[in-house]
């Protein structure tokens, strides 16, 4: 295990993203639906990245829903931290493999 690995994932940010997407039924069902439409890791990884960035963005919530982010989403964004450090390909591959 290198210094970056965290609970079997590339780093803490990737682990936290997997944790929140996998432990929230709405998010889990959302990505399961996307998997049916996207047939390769690259497209699915890009989709996960875009969806996570949107969900974590305060501006997105105001523009799309006219409200601030729910506390649960704010906590998710805080836990994930730096989205640029998330290994999107690793997430996509793991999720496609398990389903």
Reading the chain (99 residues) residue by residue, the pLDDT tens digits are 456 899 999 999 999 999 999 898 988 888 888 888 887 889 999 999 999 999 999 999 999 999 999 999 999 999 999 999 999 999 999 988 877
* C-alpha–C-alpha distance, residues 48 and 31, integer Å: 8
Helix (H) or strand (E) holding 77: helix 71-80
What domain range includes position 80?
Answer: 12-98
pLDDT of residue 40: 86
- Residue 46 DSSP class: H
What pLDDT sits at residue 2? 57
CA distance 73 to 76: 5
- Domain contains 3: no
pLDDT at residue 37, as a whole number:
86
End-to-end CA, the chain: 26
Q: Are 5 and 11 in contact (CB under 8 A)?
A: yes
Number of domains composing the chain: 1
């Amino acid at each position: 295990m290198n210094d970056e690995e965290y609970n079997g994932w590339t780093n803490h940010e990737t682990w936290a993203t997997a944790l929140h997407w996998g432990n929230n039924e709405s998010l889990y069902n959302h990505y399961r639906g996307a998997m049916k439409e996207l047939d390769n890791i690259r497209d699915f990884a890009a989709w996960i990245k875009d969806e996570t960035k949107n969900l974590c963005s305060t501006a997105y919530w105001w523009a799309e829903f006219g409200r601030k982010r729910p506390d649960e989403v704010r906590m998710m964004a805080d836990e994930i931290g730096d989205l640029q450090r998330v290994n999107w390909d690793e997430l996509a591959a793991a999720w496609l493999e398990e389903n």
